[in-house]
Amino acid sequence: MASVVLRRMMAANLSSINRINTSYNNARGFAAAVGTDIVDSCPEVRLSKARSWDEGVSSKFSTTPLSQIFKGRKVVVFGLPGAFTGVCSAQHVPSYKNNAEKFKAKGVHSLVCVAVNDPYVMNGWAEKLNAKEDIDFYGDFDGSFNKSLDLGLDLSSALLGHRSQRWSAYVVDGKIQAFNVEKVPSEFNVSGGDVMLGQI
C-alpha cells in the first residue's frame, strides 16, 4: 500500500525529475554528481551518528563533520526516505549488510546509511535490522545534508514530511566516483548493494 501511495504521489512530479542514465548508472539533474566533493558541497553540514538517548546525553549531543566520515577514506554511502519503512527495511539496508564482506574485499573502509531521522530512531532501526556491526547509521536530523546535495524530497502525501530520494554513492577522499538515484523512492533498481559492487 505504501508503495502504491508513493507511486501515485510522484506521478505528478516525474516531469521535473531527470531520469537515470542507465548506461552509467549516474544521476542527472542533481547538485551531486560524479566528481562532486561532498565535503566542499556541504561545508557546514554535520550528521548525527546513531545512538541511544543516554549516549546522546553523555556525548553532549555531539555531531560528526562530513570530513571525518569521507576524507582520506573509501566510503559507500546510501540515502533513503526513512527508518522503519518498507523498501528501506526489506531491501535497501539488507543489500549492503549482506554484501559487507565483499565491499571490504574491494577496499571500502565503511558503509554509511543516511536518512532524515533523529539518531535515536536510527539506532533503534539499526538494532532491529542487526546491521550496526556492518553499517554506520547516521541521522540527517534536519535534512540539511540531503538538501545540500539537492536530494531532498517532500513525501508528505505518505505522512513522512520532508525526506530524501533513494540514492547511493561511492566516495573516495570526499569525491563522488559513482552516483545513483532511483526514479521514485518506492523503486529499488539502481541504488542497492549489488549494483554498487559492480561500480567499484
CB 6 within 8 A of CB 159: no
pLDDT score at 154: 66
pLDDT score at 31: 67
Q: CB burial class (10 A; 0-12, 13-18, 19+) of residue 23?
A: exposed
pLDDT score at 157: 65
| Average pLDDT taken over every residue of the chain | 81
Q: Which one of 6, 75, 77, 88 is the catalytic residue?
A: 88
pLDDT score at 26: 40
pLDDT in tens, 182-191: 988 888 899 9
pLDDT score at 115: 93
Report, as an integer, the average pLDDT of 90-114.
Answer: 95
pLDDT at residue 37 is higher than 80: yes
Indicate if 88 belongs to the active site.
Answer: yes
Residue ranges per structural domain of the chain: 2-199
Amino acid at 82: G
Distance CA 131, CA 123 (A): 10
Determine the CATH number of domain 2-199. 3.40.30.10
pLDDT in tens, 112-168: 999 999 999 999 999 999 999 999 999 998 888 988 888 877 676 665 657 788 999
pLDDT score at 15: 31
pLDDT band at 56 (very low <50, low <70, confident <90, very high): confident
pTM above 0.85, yes or no: no
